[in-house]
């Protein structure tokens, strides 16, 4: 569905509801003690945030909103209920910062958290504007290349979709975080660290792909499961069930996001994708433990292509098919075309009216 005034009105209403809900949550910290009492007060907002994306139809608006509030905000609010996470790290946090940190991929400068088997700790890599400008240009070229898709091999189109998803996610998240940093002076949370350079699955999922999700899954899922598993199987092997638990939760959240996008019953291919990667990561960690004393390590020249090849093959097999069945690609390009048409109309109106914008039909 192409974005129209009705859709933009729904978008404004959704985010007004988010704003008011987060104001309510901010007030809770002043009057309700952390733990079960605060959790009971927060759960209605969590349910509301799960419902709000259903009021949007544009694939870009619903996808971004679902990620920001149904995933990021909800997980941060659940941590907040127990006095943990980024919303509880600063007792004197202001309301604007509380709202921004709740639902945007940003954070306040903090000391580096201890490293885990799931996350090796995001590297503090500050990318230059040229880096993002180049990626924006590549995204534009990929969108333009879609006009010639009938002349391109289907498998090559799927490769283009992989790059499209990566570039679009990085640019959208960086724009949102940069805007918050410019207004509130908050540190930009790194989102991606060149995932195509990953040397292992642990490197890909823990340090390079969607680092914001990794950083929120670690305290909300990985660490609690790790604590329980340590008492059951011991400290040495506890990271393995913790990794599987983390990938299971990630799978469920991705199924939810895909439901928001397509409004069709899940086929569980996305769940299979994440559980497969979780199991492979468990095997990788186990092998590393077994050969650690021998200091054996595959050369990066071999491990890199193997990792990227495995990720790409499983994306083709399990991730892209449900995305394409809900016509996400068709709807996305329709919205790009509508946005391009609108921009042209604005430009023509601006020129024809001597540099003054008037009503645009």
Name the token pair of 2.
């192409």
The answer to whether the beta carbons of residues 48 and 17 sit under 8 Å apart is yes
What is the pLDDT at residue 114? 45
List b or e across 277-314, with b for residues whose CB sees 16 or more CB atoms inside 10 angstroms.
Answer: bbeebbebbeeeeeeeeeeeeeeeeebbeebbeebeeb
Lowest mean pLDDT across 118-122, 184-188, 200-204, 267-271: 118-122
80-98 pLDDT, tens digit each: 999 999 898 888 889 998 9
**Site of tokens 């990561």:** 281
Q: How far apart are the C-alpha atoms of 240 and 228, rounded to whole Å?
A: 12
Residue (of 14, 18, 121, 32) closest to 80 by Cα position? 32
Q: What is the mean pLDDT of residues 348-352?
A: 63
What is the pLDDT at residue 11? 94
Q: Would you say residue 139 has pLDDT above 50?
A: yes
186-228 pLDDT, tens digit each: 666 667 888 999 999 999 998 899 888 888 999 999 999 999 9
Q: How far apart are the C-alpha atoms of 178 and 105, rounded to whole Å?
A: 10
Nearest-5° Cα angle at 230, 224 to 235: 125
Q: Which helix (H) or strand (E) holds 10?
A: helix 5-31
Q: How far apart are the C-alpha atoms of 255 and 271, rounded to whole Å?
A: 7
pTM for the whole structure: 0.85
Q: Are strands 106-107 and 187-188 parallel, antiparallel or unpaired?
A: antiparallel
What share of the chain has pLDDT > 70, as a percent? Answer: 84
**Site of tokens 């449900």:** 322
Domain ranges of the chain: 1-103
Q: What is the longest distance spanned by two Cα atoms in the chain?
A: 74
53-75 pLDDT, tens digit each: 999 999 989 999 999 999 999 99
Lowest mean pLDDT across 107-111, 114-118, 157-161, 218-222: 114-118
């Amino acid at each position: 569905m192409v974005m129209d005034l009705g859709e933009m009105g729904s978008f404004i209403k959704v985010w007004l509801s988010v704003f008011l809900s987060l104001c309510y949550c901010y007030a809770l910290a002043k009057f309700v003690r952390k733990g079960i009492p605060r959790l009971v007060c927060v759960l209605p907002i969590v349910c509301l945030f799960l419902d709000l994306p259903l009021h949007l139809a544009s694939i870009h608006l619903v996808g971004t909103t679902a990620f920001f509030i149904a995933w990021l905000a909800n997980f941060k609010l659940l941590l907040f209920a127990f006095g943990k996470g980024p919303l509880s790290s600063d007792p004197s946090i202001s309301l604007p910062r509380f709202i921004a940190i709740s639902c945007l991929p940003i954070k306040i400068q903090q000391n580096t958290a201890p490293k885990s088997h799931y996350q090796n700790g995001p590297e503090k890599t500050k990318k230059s504007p040229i880096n993002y400008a180049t990626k924006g240009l590549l995204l534009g070229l990929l969108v333009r290349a879609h006009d010639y898709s009938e002349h391109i091999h289907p498998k090559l189109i799927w490769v283009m979709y992989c790059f499209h998803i990566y570039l679009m996610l990085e640019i959208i998240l960086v724009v949102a975080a940069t805007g918050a940093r410019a207004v509130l002076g908050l540190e930009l949370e790194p989102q991606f660290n060149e995932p195509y350079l990953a040397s292992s699955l642990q490197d890909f999922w823990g340090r390079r792909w969607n680092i914001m999700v990794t950083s929120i899954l670690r305290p909300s899922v990985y660490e609690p499961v790790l604590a329980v598993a340590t008492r059951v199987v011991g400290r040495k092997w506890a990271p393995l069930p913790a990794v599987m638990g983390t990938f299971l939760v990630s799978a469920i959240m991705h199924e939810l996001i895909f439901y928001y996008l397509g409004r069709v019953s899940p086929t569980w291919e996305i769940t299979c994708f994440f559980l497969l990667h979780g199991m492979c990561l468990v095997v990788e960690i186990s092998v590393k433990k077994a050969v650690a004393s021998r200091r054996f390590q595959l050369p990066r020249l071999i491990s890199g292509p193997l990792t990227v090849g495995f990720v790409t093959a499983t994306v083709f097999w399990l991730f892209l098919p449900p995305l394409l069945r809900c016509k996400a690609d068709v709807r996305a390009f329709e919205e790009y075309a509508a946005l391009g048409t609108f921009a042209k109309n604005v430009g023509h109106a601006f020129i024809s009216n001597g540099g003054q914008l008037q009503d645009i039909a």
